[in-house]
Amino acid sequence: MNAAGWVSVEDVLRLLAIERSTLRQVVEQDSKARLQWEGERLRACQGHSTAGTPVTVEALEQSWEPYAGRGPLWHGTSLDALPEIARDGLRPMERTHVHLAAATDSKVGKRARVDVLLRVDLARLSAHGLRVFASPNGVLLVRWVPAEVITGIAGVSAAARERHHELLPMFGLGAAE
């Protein structure tokens, strides 16, 4: 594996003891297009961890396209995570980057259990010196998101919609947000 997460297809085939056609089928049938196959190399599009690997944040970012979009970005999360996010911002935890989406109805970058969508202000991210990158499968990636660039909360679950008025003050937001 190299610093950008690429491994040779032959190494993957040998390690997993599978045929090329099986690997190709797995890659092509993944509904979220999590794997990138390029020539004779393969990697995860995003979601890398660096523990025990040669992967570096810098090499990953050099291999992705800078995001050129406009407007707000979105991050889906659970109600339980909101107090920590309000205090510390969005952190990548065991990964290299926080996952974001360009639209609220995006199929990429969504966790299994999403109670709320946090609106992230792209201009404020930039003002903090944070660059957003687009992975080949459309997931948007940033090293972290400071709490002060979260400018809105949209309730997805019934519980979040019921508690919307309680959630806004966590982020210093008013009722219109």
What's the CATH code of the domain at 80? 3.20.170.30
Is 52 inside any structural domain? yes
Residue 2 placed within a domain: no
Q: What's the CA gap between 117 and 110, in Å, rounded?
A: 10
Question: Helix count (H) and strand count (E) of the chain?
Answer: 7, 10
Residue ranges making up the domain that contains 75: 66-171
**92 pLDDT exceeds 70?**
yes
What pLDDT band is residue 93 in, cutting at 50, 70 and 90? confident
Comparing 98 with 51, the larger pLDDT belongs to 98
pLDDT digits (tens, 9 = 90+) for 43-78: 998 877 788 889 999 999 999 999 999 889 999 999
Instruction: Provide the whole-model pTM.
Output: 0.89
- One-letter identity of residue 69: G
Given a cut of 60, is residue 14 above it in pLDDT?
yes
